[in-house]
Amino acid sequence: MSSSQPFASSSSSPNTRIRRRSKFTYKHLSTLAHGATNCPLRVISLIDLDAFYAQCETVRLGLDPTKPLAVQQWQGLIAINYPARAFGLNRHVTVTEAKEKCPELICQHVATWKEGDTQWSYSDDAFAEIASRKVSLDPYRMQSRKILALIKSFLPADKQKVERASIDEVFLDLSAQVHEIMLERYPRLHGPPPYNDPSEPLPRPPTTALDWAADALIDLDAEQTEEDDPDWDDIAMLIASEIVRDVRKAVFDELHFTCSAGISKNKMLAKLGAGHKKPNNQTVIRNRAVQHFLNGYKFTKIRNLGGKLGDEVVAAFNTDTVAELLPVPLEQLKRQLGDDTGSWIYNIVRGEDHSEVNPRTQIKSMLSAKSFRPSINSFDVASKWLRIFVADIFSRLVEEGVLENKRRPKTINLHHRQGAQTRSKSAPIPMGRAITEDGLFELAKNLLAQVVVDGRAWPCANLSLSVGGFEEGVQGNKGIGSFLVRGEEAKALQHQSRPETPPPAKRRRVDDGGIAKFFGGSREESREDSRGSSIGADDDDDNGDEHATPVPGREPSVPVAPAEAESQARSTQTKYDADAWIFEDGSSVQSPPSAQPVRVRSPMFAYQPSQSTDEVKQEIVPEETYECPRCQKRVPVDEQAEHEDFHFAQDLQNEQATPPHPPPKPIPPSGRPSSTEGTRGSGSGRGRGRGRGRPPALASGPEKGQKRLAFG
Ligand code: TTP
Ligand code: CA
Ligand code: CA
């Protein structure tokens, strides 16, 4: 499909004689300078690292890059370098199968945190210790950041637009830089336009052959010929391809990574182009080659069409190819897919995509998780994992500038899975003081304590901790006052490392966003439910807004399982959507479904008075019980451990939520509690009656998960 045939210098071609004027105007040229998304001269590139994790390991270990290497995670392979791919290896083979096919294969296991560790490390035994270890992607993130920094340093500071699209991909909008170079090379373009009219066409470019060097050039559309003289869009692509070639060379020379790139008029085409010829190649899709290029594709390979939406379109039109979707009229697409989505698809299969390269893509949440096989059974063990999650998240927060107070998360969330039930607890991260690792750990333990207080915490099959609701640091106008921090808390700014949590009554007011985040948490929880077998994944994600430009008329696609699948690493592969992970779409977590009535749900999170002794008295005394020495209640023998955990949790909470401040007032059942109290959660619902000596249940209602069904 590609050829590197250069343009012929063809001033004598009949076509040229007819078309002496450029298709483009002075106005078009000036919009190029501003990177306007509707500029017909626009140039976008996607750079994607080849076999990224595998290259990271090769570089880290100083190995010969021509030797076959795969990155192992437990018994699966998650990245395979190109020399190994030559043996027919892919992500669907196990380590054993891979070694049979390629005996000299180097299998490097990913770095892991070991239970109780405060730092990840590489270990030869990691693959056998799935129960006590958790995968760390830090080494790859570190390389990713280095590469990104290098790319940015290579491009002119005032003309660059760089969007990190995933751990190993960046989009570049090269329009402004290309514009500058065009004016340097072709001073005639400086104008002014004839009659001072910007809608006048530009002069034709010189008819010299364009040197595409080693680029893979996509063949032109049927009605176009290479004999046609180039127009300014071809020149713009050529200049962009030179820039990208230089960037790739710098990445290789300085960091020893190879990458592939696509260069075209928009993000969608650039992304397809990057995957067109790998490894270590760049593919140029000129405007005159777009339809020819796209016709050969299944639309399910197009960005945003890899998942559910793509499946819907396939089902609706009984085809998965671009070529067969082209004849479908716009009206029919709209009728079957809705106006917005229909128009979007109509344009996409014609190569039209006006989404912006968004340099402000920022992390919205960070998550660290582990599935336990076998399940874990005590607060103690769970705390050790929380310690790891916190260390993991904290190191990412540091990278995010939390120490300098550049950005900080507002909430911390814990998801806990026991059998089929997942429970989530959430709390605000106190403002007005620095976020510390110890402080986060205390908050996390407190959330776990709330789960334990609810009862039925063990055995636990999955724990995940996340922080979210990032906002800019408290600076300038957005001062302390705007957070309603009281005097003594304001003073605490000077005692930045105090980890303890102020009691709810004096916490910063949590805005609607607080509750929204909490709802968000619920949705994330259901997202996990929908993951099926991939629930078992270790997870350690930074969620940004990869889908900054979601498909119109659609909820952003639900993120799919990230890299760290455990034993079923392979099963996640089928669910993987290159657009939707690492920087998965965060918005399903961020935006609450407006239909869900905050007011009705709030009482579930209400702070409960610590003693509601009436209810406790109603407990049923089962036969095999023991008397708890602390509360003199009779507890079923088989629940002794859980009951002790309950006291432990309660102590912990008391420790964290006692004076200097007085405890908050109980919320009257009919009253609408403040959202601060709400997020404090049902975990404080001590003293409720659930019988059999268990920690009593929330007087105001069932578990959050059950209640949610009523509105879901
Ligand atoms: P990709 O860019 O999809 O793949 P790749 O870089 O390994 O190979 P290619 O040359 O084809 O681009 O993913 C980037 C990294 O993400 C990859 O090196 C490992 C990780 N990853 C997973 O852990 N699980 C997956 O299912 C996929 C697809 C990638
Ligand atoms: Ca890649
Ligand atoms: Ca990639």
pLDDT score for 489: 38
Distance 235 CA to ligand 1 centre (A): 33
- The pLDDT of 655-670, averaged and rounded, is 41
Q: In the predicted model, what is the mean pLDDT of residues 568-588?
A: 26
- Cα(709)–Cα(518) distance, integer angstroms: 15
593-599 own/partner pairs: CB under 8 Å, 24+ apart? 593/519, 593/523, 595/711, 596/519, 596/711, 597/711, 598/512, 598/515, 598/516, 598/519, 598/675, 599/672
C-beta of residue 676 within 8 angstroms of C-beta of residue 507: yes
Identify the residue with better confidence: 167 or 558: 167
pLDDT at 436 over 50: yes
**Out of 67-71, 309-313, 638-642, 704-708, least confident range:** 704-708
Residue 210 pLDDT exceeds 80: yes
Supply 173's token pair: 């909008």
DSSP string, 96-144: HHHHHH-TT-EEEEPPEEETT-SS-B--TTGGG-TTTEEE--HHHHHHH
Ligand 1 neighbour 89 (Cβ under 6 A): no
CA of 133 to the centre of ligand 1 (A): 22
Residue of 47, 50, 53, 59 to mutate, ligand 1, most atoms within 8 A of C-beta: 53
Rg over CA atoms, the chain: 29
Query: Does the C-beta of 394 come closer than 6 Å to ligand 1?
Result: no
**pLDDT tens-digit series, residues 371-428:** 998 999 999 999 999 999 999 999 889 888 888 878 899 999 999 999 889 999 999 9
**CA–centroid distance, residue 30 to ligand 2 (Å):** 34
Evaluate: CB of 50 within 6 angstroms of ligand 1.
yes
Q: Give the pLDDT of residue 626.
A: 64
Cα-to-centroid distance, 168 and ligand 2 (Å): 6
Question: Does residue 499 have a pLDDT over 70?
Answer: no
261 lines ligand 1 (CB under 6 A): no
Q: Is 49 in the pocket of ligand 1 (CB under 6 A)?
A: yes
Determine the distance separating the centroid of ligand 1 and the alpha carbon of 143, expressed in angstroms. 14
* Predicted pLDDT at 544: 52
pLDDT, average across residues 431-448:
93
Q: Which residue has the higher pLDDT, 456 or 27?
A: 27
Highest mean predicted confidence (pLDDT) among 212-216, 320-324, 573-577: 320-324
Query: pLDDT confidence of 19, banded at 50, 70, 90?
Result: low
Q: How sure is the predictor about 486, in pLDDT bands with cuts at 50, 70 and 90?
A: very low
What integer pLDDT is reported at residue 148 of this predicted model? 95
- Smallest CA separation from ligand 1 atom 24, residue: 563
DSSP assignments along 147-208, one per residue? HHHHHHHHS-TTT--EEEEETTEEEEE-HHHHHHHHHHH-GGGG-PPGGG-TTSBPPPPP-P
**286-304 confidence digits (pLDDT tens):** 999 999 999 999 999 998 8
CA distances from residue 253 to 249, 257, 259, 633 in whole angstroms, order as listed: 6, 8, 12, 70
The CB-side HSE value for 420 (13 A sphere, CA atoms) comes to: 1
Higher pLDDT, 511 or 46: 46
Q: With 90 as the cut, is the pLDDT of residue 437 above it?
A: yes
Q: Ligand 1 pocket, 57 CB below 6 A?
A: no
Q: How close is the Cα of 235 to the center of ligand 2, in Å?
A: 28
Q: Which residues surround ligand 3, an ion (CB under 5 A)?
A: 48, 168-169
pLDDT at 527: 27
Ligand 1 close to Cβ of residue 279 (< 6 A)? yes
The CA 48 to ligand 2 mean position distance, Å, reads: 5
Provide the b/e sequence for 215-252 (b: ≥16 CB within 10 Å): bbbbbbbeebebebbbbbbbbbbbbbbbbbbebbeebe
Output the residue whose Cα is nearest ligand 1's atom 19.
79
> Range with the lowest mean pLDDT among 37-51, 129-143, 382-396, 490-504?
490-504
Residue 474 has pLDDT above 60, yes or no: no
The token duo for 700 is: 């105001």
**pLDDT in the model for residue 597:** 24
Centre of ligand 1 to C-alpha 125, Å, is 23
271 alpha carbon, closest ligand = 3
Structure-token match 């990057």, residue found = 274
Identity of residue 513: G
Tokens of 392: 């993991």
Q: CA nearest 279: which of 100, 573, 58?
A: 58
Closest CA to 137 of 668, 625, 583, 683: 583
Check pLDDT > 90 for residue 623: no
pLDDT of 596-619, one tens digit each? 222 222 222 222 222 222 222 222
| Average pLDDT of the segment spanning 573-597 | 25
Does ligand 1 come within 6 angstroms of the Cβ of 573? yes
Q: Do you find a cis peptide bond into 660, omega within 30 degrees of 0?
A: yes
Q: Which ligand is nearest to the CA of 306?
A: 1
Does 67 score more than 50 pLDDT?
yes
Give nearest CA residue, ligand 1 atom 8: 51
The CA-based angle 496-501-503, given to 5 degrees, is 130
